[in-house]
Amino acid sequence: MANRSRLSAVALTTSAVLLAALSAGCGGGGGARTGDLTAQKLDWKDCPAPSQAEGGGTSPSPLPSGAKWQCATMKAPLDWSKPKGGTIDIALIRAKATGDPSRRIGSLVFNFGGPGGSGVSTLPAFGADYATLNTRYDLVSFDPRGVGRSAPVECESDAQLDSYFQQDATPDDSAEQKQLVDRTKQFNAACEKNSRKTLPHVRTTDAARDMDLMRQVLGDDKLHYFGISYGTELGGVYAHLFPKHVGRAVFDAVVDPTEDPEQSALGQTKGFQLALDNFAKGCTAKGDCPIGDTPQEVKDRIAKLLDDLEKKPIPGVFPRQLTQTAATNGIAQSLYSKDFWEYLTEGLQQAYEGDGKILMLLSDSMNGRSEDGEYSNITAANVAINCSDEKPRYTTDDVRRKLPEFRAASPVFGTYMAWGMLGCTDWAVPGAADHPDVSAPGSAPILVVGNTGDPATPYEGAKKMVDALGKGVAVELTYKGQGHGSYDSKNKCVQSAVNDYLLDGKVPKTGTVCS
């Protein structure tokens, strides 16, 4: 998820694990010199099992083509303003191109979003979706700095995170507001205590410079890139810093680079409400929707459930209770993909009967919690990267002033999203800017794909990204669909357009619409 708010995990990262759990229960340079680091040789080996910070699990299985996953570590400067100083390790993964070696284009680098998502654990989960691209590209991803195995940001313990995610995130009075502020300060202070050395160096500009070093170490003259969700922001920042090094690039599920954190949170609030509207319409259109006879009844019952849970939580995943906060989080997670709608329907049915397990599992997925109670570092990394990037710091007075607008945008998500703006208050590192600079004059064409039903990165952001990249840089493609992102919807029109560009350099006509 690309937003700067409490709803800020990576749906793609966890969806494969989630489904299993539910079924079981400037110019051409722009950077400082990197000295000898550009000449480093990567030692590719069979991949180990993902670390707990990456989400845990088993070593990745070969792709259906037989291509095996290999992992390596790249050295990068901790501080890009002092490139000859100390270094950190950046974890990489690849599957080598499967086609005729003479037709190999190079590496295709993926970032799946967050920020905070582990590319090393995510790419294998979705690698088969990119089999066509794998014929001419090495598929490559990485854990950005602060994430997974790449100098991970560490904040609170698993037990503390259980408490953190159970807190009341929609305070009703001054006492509850103080509790929320104090708990946020506690989390942020733990990040500073446990990751003081790393926190000043996890900005998106730092990750973009890592990608240009990666391009050189991989042996590519240009960076061929596939960015999803926050990965589009990272790609835009890269294009701004290194426009002459941009190769064939695709931005899917596009972040609006012109918004400040407040605007982004409000836009996402509207996006999730639109997705909930579409879910309610989809369920009742069948004629046998078990959670309501009309779309409005479905939404009214959801709103009542959340009100009831604030007063009295119900059993979730033992020994934890399903609170209003966890239920809201779980509902949001289910709206990332139309494939999850059936689980939302079942989860709501059970919740109305006093069983909150499915909604709790959905919430756990959003938060990076495994079934054994261990957390990935997605939340810590997400907060650290966002708060380092974003200059504004909001107060409770700011939130109270904005609450009516947020509630008007969504009676289900509005209050929750508004209070989420406090996440960076009292953060140890100053934020860099109100919003990222992605202007990229001189860049190669970038294909920007917007989904009209995207909850996390609303469709309007695609046009804003096109305009911000600059005249003659971006080509916009629209997908009239549901869920977060377009390519992985399996829509043949979208996939054909993206594949034609990445494989053959064929840029679709701007304004092309797929449905």
Residue numbers annotated as active site? 229, 454, 484
Contacts of 416 (CB under 8 A, 6+ apart): 6, 7, 169, 170, 325, 328
Give the amino acid at 473: V
Give the amino acid at 109: V
Q: Which helix (H) or strand (E) holds 182?
A: helix 174-195
Q: Angle at the Cα of 419 (from 266 to 194), degrees rounded to 5?
A: 115
- Residue 236's SS3 state is helix
Give the amino acid at 112: F
472 contacts 444 by C-beta, under 8 angstroms = no
Contacts of 193 (CB under 8 A, 6+ apart): none
Cα distances from 164 to residues 5, 377, 400, in angstroms, run 15, 14, 22
Work out the number of other CB atoms within 10 angstroms of the CB of residue 302: 24
**Nearest in space to 396 (alpha carbons), one of 178, 186, 183:** 178
309: exposed, middle or buried (Cβ count in 10 Å: 0-12, 13-18, 19+)? buried
Contacts of 368 (CB under 8 A, 6+ apart): 9, 13, 14, 55, 375, 376, 377, 378, 379
53 contacts 43 by C-beta, under 8 angstroms = no
